Chain A
Amino acid sequence: MSGWLSAILYILLAPVAGGLIAGIDRKLTARMQRRIGPPIFQPFYDLFKLIDKENVIVNLYQNLYLTGFLVFNIVAGTLFFAGGDLLLVIFALALSGIFLVLGAASATSPYSHIGAERELIQMMACEPMLLIAAMGLYLLPHSFQVRDILAVDKPLFLYLPGILFGLLYILTIKLRKSPFDLSTSHHAHQEIVKGITTEFSGPALAVVELAHWYETILILGMIYLFFAWNPWVAVPATIGLYLAEILVDNTNARLTWRWTVTSSWLIAAVAGAGNLIVLFYFLKAGF
């Protein structure tokens, strides 16, 4: 029952929390650049303004795909917060990504096409590590159910340091932060303009923004799982790791897609799979 309650809370509150996090992120980023920065509520002002704008679409399917993107993001998050199957969450997240790619590819602009291609490459870079993370989380409770993973009363991050590191690495890609803001970035100064979101405007862009907030909360939830044995550690740790992401965003140039794929697969193979194998044999040996 509590699972469904938290799922409903997620659906209702995630946009608020996600927007606030985006606002704090922008403020902190600004301060790291010695700027005053926008007010913390700026993302909400932006969202409302986007919703108010005229709905200009390139073709009929674009908004349909974007709705798919938003809906499956919410589905993934709802499943996660309802304590559902982690694998299903990851697949729903991947599906929502595919919808975004379809939306971008349905437009004719070369920028959004290249953005869509890059988004696919990024998903290719992320997926192995996400699956390894799911497997790693499975090992202790012997279940993919989030509520079972939450119930483990051991500090998971001590068992899964490599996987946590690998997950954080690809979360930079998921959160669209430097050095991996390839397919689109938060500012349009990129060789492919705004990449995957170039052709979206007004309410459509608001949908993308909203979906991104849902996704951020889901991602933070995933980080939380690793520390879930003690909420007093988990909340500061999650916040701390998100702050570290902001710092990384501010201290790196954008890298190329070749570098992204190679490095994320390398980390998935070494840190992720290595951790998985070691942990598997440790548990088998009865530690």
Chain B
Amino acid sequence: MKMTYVALKSLFSSPATANYPAEPKTYYPGTRGHIVLEVSTCTLCKICEIRCPTGAIQVDREGKAWSIERMKCIQCGFCVDSCPRKCLSNDPQYTSPASEKITDRLDVPYEPPKRKPKPETPPA
């Protein structure tokens, strides 16, 4: 009898589910969706590469690029925590499903400081 009440009440209330792909899900601001790099402040210090538990991040100092294998990343946010320049962040949007492994490669316009001691090079 208890269940009849639950079933009938459910029948006359609005569904709790959403018509998902048609109605996009709203995420919380703190959701760890995917990693975003702010290229202008990145110094290619490689700490994220070392810290990443799955080895998804590759930093190429010569080629001046930062790349992430989206399918390898587990969204733990450890790189975000350990980034000394705070240029990494978590975006609430999940990585979209794909049939092949995507690697995102971002060019980082960072100029390493010259030998002469001088304040930080302004980002290009």
Contact = CB atoms under 8 A, between A and B. Distances in A.
Given A31-B10, A32-B10, A247 B15 contact: no
Given A247-B4, A251-B3, A251-B4, A35 B15 contact: yes
Nearest to A30: B15
A34 B15 CA distance: 4
A2 interface: no
Of the candidates B3, B7, B16, B17, the one having the most CB atoms from chain A within 10 angstroms of its own CB is B7
A35 B10 CA distance: 9
Interface in B107-124: none
Contact of B17 (A36, A250, A251): A36
Nearest to A28: B11
Contacts of B6: 251
B19 interface: yes
Interface residues of B, number: 13
A247 B4 CA distance: 7
Contacts, number: 34
Contacts of A31: 10-11, 15
A139 B7 CA distance: 39
Nearest to B13: A34
A241 to B, nearest CB: 16
B93 to A, nearest CB: 23
Of B6, B10, B11, most buried by chain A (CB within 10 Å of CB) is B11
A97 to B, nearest CB: 30
Most buried by B among A30, A35, A37, A251: A251
Contacts of A33: 7, 10
A30 B3 CA distance: 15
A195 B18 CA distance: 32
Contacts of A37: 15
Contacts of A28: 11
Given A251-B3, A251-B4, A32 B15 contact: no
A27 to B, nearest CB: 11
A205 B17 CA distance: 29
Nearest to B20: A36
A244 to B, nearest CB: 10
Contacts of A32: 7-8, 10-11
Contact of B16 (A34, A247, A251, A252): A34
A35 B7 contact: no
A37 B11 CA distance: 12
Contact of A34 (B3, B4, B10, B19): B10
Find the residue from B13, B17, B18 having the highest chain A CB count within 10 A. B17
B77 to A, nearest CB: 33
A30 B17 CA distance: 10
A34 B14 CA distance: 7
Interface string A249-266: 011100000000000000
A44 to B, nearest CB: 20
A32 B4 CA distance: 10
25 contacts: A28-B11, A30-B15, A31-B11, A32-B10, A32-B11, A33-B7, A33-B10, A34-B10, A34-B13, A34-B16, A34-B17, A35-B17, A36-B15, A36-B17, A36-B19, A37-B15, A247-B7, A247-B8, A250-B3, A250-B7, A251-B3, A251-B4, A251-B6, A251-B7, A252-B3
Given A32-B7, A247-B4, 8 more contacts: A31-B11, A32-B11, A34-B17, A35-B15, A36-B15, A36-B17, A36-B18, A37-B15
Interface of B: 3-4, 6-8, 10-11, 13, 15-19
Interchain residue pairs A-B with the least CB separation, the first 6: A251-B3, A34-B16, A32-B7, A34-B10, A36-B15, A250-B7
